Structure 1
Amino acid sequence: MTAFSGVSIGYLADRTGLAVSAIRYYEAQGLITPWRNSGGQRRFHRADIRRLSFIMIAQQIGFSLPEIRGFLKDLPGGRTPTPEDWTQISQDFRSHLDQRIETLQKLRDNLDGCIGCGCLSLPKCALYNPKDRAAQKGQGPRYLMGDRAETENDP
């Protein structure tokens, strides 16, 4: 197969191990962009093998499809990405991974204490989060997100 004629969805499925339905779903999500040949068949760039592999890896790490779409938006369409293209995307990916690692470390280190979720379901939440003070800082697990717990003596 030449690059001009593209590759079939079956070929992509064989090369990536993905189901054809998954490839169609990623297409519908705007993660890959095929075209139609003169016979109306869907054709893909060979570079989509790398894109799909990247998608699978990013999903295994826990990235959402909108996040993955954001990473892929800077890759060129219609040609195989160069090492420089992948270096650019990896810098953004690394930054997101570093943030996730930091969050996971905070979670690990505070599993036995309050994370400031405002649930008030644990008996000691009254000690860590009296009168749901964390809720004043916003929604979500405030202490896990970097807010500090206040003590009774804090202003």
Structure 2
Amino acid sequence: MSAKKEPSVWHGFKAFLMRGNVVDLAVAVVIGAAFTNIVNSVVKGLINPVVGAIGTTSLDNYSSCLSSSCHGGHGIQLMWGSVLGSALNFVITAAVVYFLMVLPMARYLARVEAHRKAREGTHEVIEVTELEVLKQIRDELVAQRGTPGRQER
């Protein structure tokens, strides 16, 4: 009985790194990091001042005390303002990304695709089974020979 040698961890890691989607992911992370600065600037420079005009610019000071007193570093404080502020920041950032980047890009790509189809003309794709193709080949060969019917052996 021969024991089958399993691939080493190093070979598995190399195979993982050589996959195409790892490189795509690395490019996406780099572009995402650069894009983060744009989104943060829009949120800090445009969105947060508008939200601050309506209410408060920072929710970090809102909290609740679970113990009898929460002065200084004593007591148990729930910092629900920080959680709410982070959640709002996420929703605002997601909205900025969607409405200013994703939606216009999707519309642009749809226009480009429609323009490409209009330029090329719409070609109807007809799916043909392998058996139908073989029958067509047989019929063409019979027609080339000039014999009126199919000859069976």
Q: Determine if the TM-score, normalized by the shorter chain, exceeds 0.5.
A: no
Instruction: Report the TM-score, using the length of structure 1 for normalisation.
Output: 0.26
**Higher-helix-fraction structure:** 2
Instruction: Report the TM-score, using the length of structure 2 for normalisation.
Output: 0.26
